[in-house]
């Protein structure tokens, strides 16, 4: 397997505050990897370290198999799309796209305003630059904007230009720092599909930073969940969702949030939870605390109270057309449980009424008090999947 | 619709504002009007007890001819252009990179350096006149253009102004430029300075006005008439030849100020263009 980007023990502090605490990550060549985490967790800092715009205190970065720690940003063959787009406001779109090519293909003398034009070779090179700019602009459907300044463009158009400026010099690695977060919701979904398509067409490594789990889940081959400068889990999107390694990952991913219910082990194979008893193997000794994680869709309706059935009062019902979300107050729980029920169940629960929920035990995620995922020996549903091999 | 009470209030407010503004501008403009008025009058009329803006007898041609011929006024103005132009260009060449380093680069001692710039901002130029004179004497440039130019090359005000402007430019733009392959110098000249164009124009106005009108340092630095910038030249001329002949003197003063006024009117348009360059995003 060849690696696009390899990070080893990257550590970074700004003054006394540690921002990255030993991040290690292997990103396969051609992979679409997303760094997902709340704002302020160090995602942008990590991306800037990969680009060479920031220096790590400890650790190494390799791109395409060679260490790049001593290389300047220009020499690393990476391109970046910034959240604020960072287009040059005084240059036209065409000049914005051409600049990275001019800086790479023309010599210092050839770039001089007047003299450069008469030097031998400049014309031919300028021709190839213009051709490449036109090609990129056409691919992104911004060819009619080339004469405009960034200030005259809409947000979506600026975003395309920013992608174009990264694309035009055909880098080995694409870095994107929340490129869609300044767009409105509808445009964001459309651009999401375009970025996915772009990745498919270019086939190069993408490292994408976002705090939006929908972007991470829909775009990525793998997602790296980051919190407070640490990677908690790196896995395929559906494993991040269904098989989180850590309680914080389970909480961060999924909307509505996962229900976390505190329980206590009654005896081997039985856990007391929210006024009832579940037949669950926890691997923990009697009397130990354990947290049960239940996604909203892990509940089914039950006829009556009993073992393995959670009973509570309906606080709120949310109809979303296809689904019905019931917020249920249960004994011993501060936050209400949120259960997703089929919309046809409309007839069943009523506001203020009593609801019986039977969690599907094979969907229960168990967490130790320190947040670690508990995996008792027998209950193995999902095997961790290997990295995607490049085609 | 606005309620009537509010409307009346804002009316009186606007009237008050305009009265104050008008009064101040009249105060500021009065000496200029007087200067131009005197430059049009004959010697007899200048010393009349009554005052009128326009002369009874036009003496403009004589005054302006005298101003341009009796003294080497064109020469003084040319000196002014050379000195102010050289100062401005050198100032920008020094200030922009310095301001970029203070605004966007992280290095040890940056805050101390910036504090020194602020201190430099507080020291009046006159305080340094004596050491600068001795320095100019030691390196043997007294009574040359260089003597008129060198004390002003490093402008704390320019560094401060540019630094504040550069700081407002997002870091991501600098990062993008580095990834695009621009050197630090290219970032200064091809990204920062063009974006900060309004600041450059504003600084240019301040710099040119200050040094075009400067009398203090030229008085110390040069003796030769062919090196004198306009104010010093006109003053020397007044002492030697004009005596109390205020008509040509005022004509000379008007001619000296005119380029500044014209330049400012042009720059003002640029200034507005520069500001409407729009957001950096
Ligand atoms: N240049 C800097 N100087 C000081 N602190 C910084 C700098 N850049 C980032 N930080 C701090 O590092 C932390 C992580 O920032 P960042 O990487 O931008 O997070 P994210 O992109 O995940 O929102 C934040 O607390 C931020 O305040
Ligand atoms: Mg960020």
What is the third-level CATH fold of A3-247? Answer: Rossmann fold (3.40.50)
Residue A319's SS3 state is strand
Task: Convert the pLDDT of each residue in B66-77 to its tens digit.
Answer: 888 877 888 899
Q: What is the pLDDT of residue A104?
A: 87
For residue B200, give how far its alpha carbon lies from the nearest alpha carbon of chain A (Å): 14
If you average pLDDT over residues B102-126, what whole number do you get? Answer: 93
| Domains in chain A: boundaries | 3-247, 257-367
Q: What is the pLDDT of residue B82?
A: 94
More confident position, B9 or A328: A328
Task: Convert the pLDDT of each residue in B139-159 to its tens digit.
Answer: 999 999 999 999 999 999 999
A158: left (phi over 0), alpha (psi -120 to 50) or beta: alpha
Q: Give, for A46, the enclosing helix (H) or strand (E).
A: helix A43-51
- CB distance B172–A84 less than 8 Å? yes
* Residues of chain A positioned with their CB less than 8 A from the CB of B186: 103
Contact B118, B160 (CB under 8 A): yes
* Residues of chain A positioned with their CB less than 8 A from the CB of B278: 89, 149, 151
Answer whether residue B1 shows pLDDT above 60.
no
Q: What is the pLDDT of residue A227?
A: 93
CA A353 to chain centre: 39
Q: Which one of the ligands is nearest to B174 CA?
A: 1
Count CB neighbours of B109 within 10 A: 8
Mean pLDDT of chain B: 85
Q: Is the CB of A210 under 6 A from ligand 1?
A: no
The percent of residues above 70 in pLDDT, for chain B, comes to 89
Going by the DSSP 8-state scheme, the letter that residue A207 receives in this structure is E
Q: What is the pLDDT of residue B41?
A: 84
For residue B195, give how far its alpha carbon lies from the nearest alpha carbon of chain A (Å): 6
Q: What is the pLDDT of residue A105?
A: 87
- CB distance B281–A103 less than 8 Å? no
Q: How far, CA to CA in Å, does A101 sit from each of A53, A217, A289?
A: 19, 33, 60
Tell how strand A354-359 and strand A289-294 pair up: unpaired
| Domains in chain B: boundaries | 4-63, 72-280
If you average pLDDT over residues B256-273, what whole number do you get? Answer: 76
Q: What is the pLDDT of residue B7?
A: 56
User: Which of A11, A17, A19, A41 to mutate for ligand 1's pocket (most ligand atoms within 8 Å of CB)?
Assistant: A19
Q: Model's pTM, two decimal places?
A: 0.84
User: Which of A161, A171, A189, A187 shows the shortest CA–CA distance to A82?
Assistant: A161
Phi, psi of A68 (to 5 degrees): -120, 15
A48: left (phi over 0), alpha (psi -120 to 50) or beta: alpha
Answer whether residue B50 shows pLDDT above 80.
no
Where residue B105 falls among pLDDT bands split at 50, 70, 90?
very high
More confident position, B276 or B220: B220
CATH architecture of structural domain B72-280: Orthogonal Bundle (1.10)
Q: B204-220 as b/e, with b when 16 or more CB fall inside 10 Å?
A: bbebbeebbebeebbeb
Q: Whose CA is nearest to atom 17 of ligand 1?
A: A42
Q: What is the pLDDT of residue A137?
A: 92
- The ipTM estimated for the assembled molecules is 0.85
A170: left (phi over 0), alpha (psi -120 to 50) or beta: left
What class does CATH assign to A257-367? mainly beta
Residue A47 CB-density burial (10 A; 0-12 exposed, 13-18 middle, 19+ buried): buried
Q: What is the pLDDT of residue B278?
A: 41
A-to-B residue pairs, Cβ atoms closer than 8 angstroms: 68
Q: What is the pLDDT of residue A30?
A: 93
Q: What is the pLDDT of residue A125?
A: 87
SS (H, E, C) chain B: CCCHHHHHHHHHHHHHHHHHHHHHHHHHHHHHHHHHHHCCCCHHHHCCCCCCCCCCCCCHHHHHHHHHHCCCHHHHHHHHHHHHHHHHHHHHHHHHHHHHHHHHCCCCCHHHHHHHHHHHHHCCHHHHHHHHHHHHHHCCCCCCHHHHHHHHCCCHHHHHHHHHHHHCCCHHHHHHHHHHCCCHHHHHHHHHHHHCHHHHHHHHHHHHHHHHCCCHHHHHHCCCHHHCCHHHHHHHHHHHHHCCCHHHHHHHHHHHHHHHHHHHHHHHHHHHHHHCCCCCC
Q: Which of B179, B181, B277 sits opposite A89 (nearest CB)?
A: B277
Task: Convert the pLDDT of each residue in B169-185 to its tens digit.
Answer: 999 999 999 999 999 99
Instruction: Please enumerate residues of A whose Cβ is less than 8 A from a Cβ of B.
Output: 48, 51-53, 72-74, 78-80, 82-90, 99-100, 103-104, 149-151, 158, 165
Q: What is the pLDDT of residue B253?
A: 86
Instruction: Please enumerate residues of B whose Cβ is less than 8 A from a Cβ of A.
Output: 170, 172-173, 175-182, 186, 191, 194-195, 197, 277-281
Answer whether residue B231 shows pLDDT above 90.
no
Answer whether residue B2 shows pLDDT above 70.
no
pLDDT in tens, chain A (391 residues): 567 899 999 999 998 999 999 999 999 999 999 999 999 999 999 999 999 999 999 999 999 889 999 999 999 989 999 999 999 999 999 999 999 999 988 888 888 777 777 777 788 888 899 999 999 999 889 999 999 999 999 989 999 999 999 999 899 999 999 999 888 888 889 889 999 999 999 999 999 999 999 999 999 999 999 999 999 999 999 999 999 999 999 999 988 899 998 888 887 777 888 778 888 787 777 778 888 899 998 888 777 777 778 888 888 888 887 888 889 888 777 888 898 888 775 566 677 788 888 888 888 888 988 888 888 764 444 333 444 444 4
Phi, psi of A160 (to 5 degrees): -65, -40
Atom from ligand 1 closest to the CA of residue A43: 22
Q: What is the pLDDT of residue A212?
A: 92
């Amino acid at each position: 397997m060849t690696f696009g980007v390899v990070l080893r023990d990257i550590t970074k502090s700004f003054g006394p505050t540690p921002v990255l605490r030993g991040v290690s990550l292997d990103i396969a060549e051609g992979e679409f990897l997303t760094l997902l985490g709340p704002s302020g967790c160090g995602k942008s800092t990590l991306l800037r370290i990969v680009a060479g715009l920031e220096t790590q205190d400890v650790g190494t970065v390799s791109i395409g198999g060679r260490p790049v720690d001593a290389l300047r940003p220009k020499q690393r063959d990476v391109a970046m799309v910034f959240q604020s787009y960072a287009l040059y406001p005084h240059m036209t779109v065409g000049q914005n796209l051409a600049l990275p090519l001019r800086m790479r293909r023309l010599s210092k003398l050839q770039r001089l305003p007047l003299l450069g034009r008469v030097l031998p070779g400049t014309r031919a090179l300028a021709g190839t630059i213009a051709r490449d700019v036109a090609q990129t602009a056409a691919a992104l459907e911004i060819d009619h904007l080339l004469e405009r300044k960034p200030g005259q463009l809409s947000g979506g158009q600026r975003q395309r230009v920013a992608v174009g400026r990264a694309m035009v010099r055909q880098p080995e690695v694409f870095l994107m720092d929340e490129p869609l977060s300044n767009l409105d919701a509808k445009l964001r979904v459309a651009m999401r599909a375009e970025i996915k398509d772009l990745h498919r067409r270019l086939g190069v490594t993408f490292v994408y930073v976002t705090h939006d789990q929908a972007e991470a889940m829909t775009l990525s081959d793998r997602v790296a969940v980051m919190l407070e400068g640490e990677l908690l889990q790196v896995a395929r999107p559906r494993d991040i969702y269904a098989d989180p390694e850590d309680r914080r990952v389970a909480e961060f991913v999924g909307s509505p949030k996962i229900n976390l219910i505190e329980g206590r082990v009654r005896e081997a194979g039985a856990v007391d939870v929210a006024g009832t008893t579940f037949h669950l193997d926890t691997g923990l000794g009697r009397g130990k605390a354990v947290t049960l994680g239940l996604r909203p869709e892990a509940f089914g309706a039950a006829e009556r109270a009993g073992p393995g059935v959670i009973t509570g009062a309906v606080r709120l019902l949310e109809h979303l057309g296809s689904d019905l979300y019931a917020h249920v107050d249960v004994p011993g729980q501060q936050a209400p449980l949120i259960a997703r029920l089929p919309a046809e169940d409309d007839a069943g629960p009523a506001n203020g009424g009593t609801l019986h929920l039977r969690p599907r035990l094979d969907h229960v995620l168990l967490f130790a008090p320190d947040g670690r995922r508990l995996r008792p020996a027998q209950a193995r549903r999902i095997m961790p999947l290997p990295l995607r091999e490049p085609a | 619709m606005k309620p009537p009470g509010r409307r009346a209030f804002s009316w009186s407010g606007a009237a008050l504002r305009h009265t104050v503004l008008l009064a101040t501008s009249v105060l500021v403009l009065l000496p200029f009007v007087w200067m131009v008025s005197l430059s049009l009058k004959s010697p007899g009329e200048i010393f009349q007890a009554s005052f009128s803006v326009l002369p009874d007898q036009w003496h403009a041609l004589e005054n302006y001819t005298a101003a341009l011929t009796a003294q080497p006024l064109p020469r003084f103005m040319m000196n002014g252009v050379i000195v102010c132009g050289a100062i401005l260009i050198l100032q920008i060449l020094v200030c922009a990179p310095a301001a970029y380093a203070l605004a966007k680069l992280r290095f040890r001692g940056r805050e101390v350096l910036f504090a020194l710039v602020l201190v430099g901002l507080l020291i009046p130029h006159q305080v340094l006149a004596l050491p600068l004179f001795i320095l100019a004497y030691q390196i043997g440039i007294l009574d040359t253009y260089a003597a008129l130019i060198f004390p002003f090359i490093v402008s704390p005000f320019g560094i401060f102004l540019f630094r504040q402007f550069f700081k407002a430019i997002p870091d991501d733009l600098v990062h993008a430029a580095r990834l695009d392959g621009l050197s630090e110098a290219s970032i200064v000249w091809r990204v920062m300075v063009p974006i900060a164009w309004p600041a450059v124009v504003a600084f240019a106005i301040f710099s040119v006005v200050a040094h075009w009108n400067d009398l203090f340092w030229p008085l110390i630095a040069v003796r030769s008439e062919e090196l004198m910038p306009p104010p010093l030249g006109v003053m020397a001329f007044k002492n030697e030849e004009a005596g109390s002949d205020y008509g040509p003197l005022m004509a000379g003063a008007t001619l000296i100020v005119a380029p500044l006024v014209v330049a400012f009117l042009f720059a003002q348009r640029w200034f507005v263009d520069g500001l409407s360059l729009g957001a950096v995003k």
